[in-house]
Amino acid sequence: MEPRETYWTFLARLLWPALAGLAGGAAVALLWDRTTLWIVLAIVAAAASLASYLAREGRLHLAEQALELGAKGEGLLSPLAREVLAHLPDPLMLLDSNGRVLFANASMHTVIGVAPEGKHVSLMVRTPSVLEAIEHASETGESRTFEFVSPVPVTRNYEAHTARLSARQPVTMLVLHDLTAIKRTEQMRADFVANASHELRTPLAAVAGFIDTLKGHARDDPKARDRFLDIMSVEAGRMRRLIEDLLSLTRIELNEHVRPSGAVSLESILREAIAALGPLAQIDDISLELSAAPGLPPVAGERDELIQLFQNLIHNAIKYGREHGHVWVTIQPVGPTSGRGAESMLAAIVRDDGEGIAPDAIPRLTERFYRVDVKRSREKGGTGLGLAIVKHIVNRHQGRLTIESRQGEGSTFTVLLPVAAAKTAAIAETAVT
């Protein structure tokens, strides 16, 4: 779409025939009267100056119009095409032959952080491989697809595609596809396989070694046999717990995207979890205390999963709390938050008076197989999966998990769960009665 002829250019085009006529008249007047000649020449000079000025203004206006059309991409894209590209989830950018941005969709604005139209691509993209691929596609027309890493503001993995498009003017396209989630998942799977195989290999090797010993010189040694059988029982129990936690975690992950539709009493769930762990707390002389505000509404959730969640948290508080210490469990209402769904929530808080957790370890607590103290965790029968299970159950219930701790002052785990809708709560009460 070429810019239309401007008013100034039109006037300049009309003045040039007039100038030609005046020049012819001046030639005739040369043979007739010198005074008339000078008058005609002055008129010709003024008209020529005016025509030159008007033509220059017209060219400048045309240049400005062309730059504006190029910057907005209006000469390339129809309104429908612009709207379609603007809503693409993948970042997309169109550039002219000089590397200036003609068009960028909303996703590209998010990646770059500013509106890039009219600016040179090197001002927004600092990755050498991307700039080289854009220049190569613009000059040769060859497409390229490659991966690169953007380290700031956070590390992200992208797949980039560059190509030169057939249009009235040369246009180079850059499309990015975010691979960050895929790369992280691949890394998590690799770490999971490595860690799981390592966790199972150790107890299996111990059991196999004791079996060989019992078959050999300890065959007729009753004391050694009893001691080895006790150790084998402990290792077998460790493997059983690990397999159970792995199966539980897999089951929870499969349904993590499905929000539970039931409604349950959070207080009854916590009382059941505390009752189940009471004998374990008594062994270490740890007191369990539950306090709940009166008249609390039910929460949206699945009973068995929530019991598992709070058993894991309370069990951890017992295992890693202070000897002859205390574990406090509190339930209190929380108003609508600014987060997911902005719903009213209930907060279930599990606090202990143990040694606390180092600040650099807190962000990693919900990773699979991560342990702050590996030796102590194994001695206590931990599998390193308890808090990972807690995190995925909280995610499935569209809740939140926060962890606060100071070394020497204990730790506090807070779970926020959405209150059940009125209709769901009424159905649950009817089913109970």
The tens-digit pLDDT sequence of the chain (433 residues) is 334 444 445 455 555 555 555 555 555 455 555 555 555 555 555 555 555 544 454 444 433 443 444 444 555 678 888 888 888 889 999 999 889 999 999 889 888 878 888 889 988 888 899 999 999 999 888 999 999 988 766 678 899 999 998 766 789 999 999 888 788 777 767 766 776 777 777 778 888 888 888 888 777 788 888 888 888 888 888 888 888 887 787 777 777 767 888 899 999 999 999 999 988 888 888 999 999 988 899 999 999 999 999 999 999 999 888 888 999 999 999 876 544 444 689 999 999 998 888 888 888 888 887 877 766 666 666 777 889 899 999 998 989 999 999 888 899 999 999 998 764 555 444 444 4
Does residue 193 share a domain with residue 54?
no
Amino acid at 372: V
Does residue 425 share a domain with residue 398?
yes
Where does residue 276 rank: exposed (0-12), middle (13-18), buried (19+ CB within 10 A)?
middle
Does residue 188 share a domain with residue 248?
yes
Answer yes or no: is 170 within a domain: yes
Does residue 300 share a domain with residue 188?
no
* CATH classification of the domain holding 318: 3.30.565.10
* CATH classification of the domain holding 205: 1.10.287.130
Does residue 291 share a domain with residue 145?
no
Does residue 280 share a domain with residue 230?
no
Asked which of 70, 104, 121 is the last residue of a domain, the reply is 70
Domain boundaries, position 39: 7-70
Does residue 396 share a domain with residue 299?
yes
Global pTM reads 0.53
For the record, the structure tokens of 327 come out as 């574990």
Does residue 188 share a domain with residue 58?
no
Answer yes or no: is 1 within a domain: no
Asked which of 223, 254, 285 is the last residue of a domain, the reply is 254
Does residue 198 share a domain with residue 164?
no
Name, in order, each residue with C-beta under 8 angstroms of 7's C-beta and a sequence gap of 6 or more: none
Does residue 281 share a domain with residue 206?
no
Answer yes or no: is 325 within a domain: yes
Name, in order, each residue with C-beta under 8 angstroms of 264's C-beta and a sequence gap of 6 or more: 298, 299, 301, 302, 303, 306, 420, 428
Enumerate the β-bridge partners of residue 25. none
CB 85 within 8 A of CB 173: no
CA 432 to chain centre: 41
Overall number of domains in the chain: 4
Answer yes or no: is 314 within a domain: yes
* CATH classification of the domain holding 125: 3.30.450.20
For the record, the structure tokens of 79 come out as 């309104």
CA angle 413, 414, 416 (to 5 degrees): 155
Q: In this structure, what are the phi and psi dihedrals at residue 4, rounded to the nearest 5 degrees?
A: -70, 160
Answer yes or no: is 159 within a domain: yes
Does residue 333 share a domain with residue 358?
yes
- DSSP-derived letter for residue 14 is H
Answer yes or no: is 2 within a domain: no
Asked which of 202, 231, 254 is the last residue of a domain, the reply is 254
Answer yes or no: is 338 within a domain: yes
Does residue 274 share a domain with residue 409?
yes
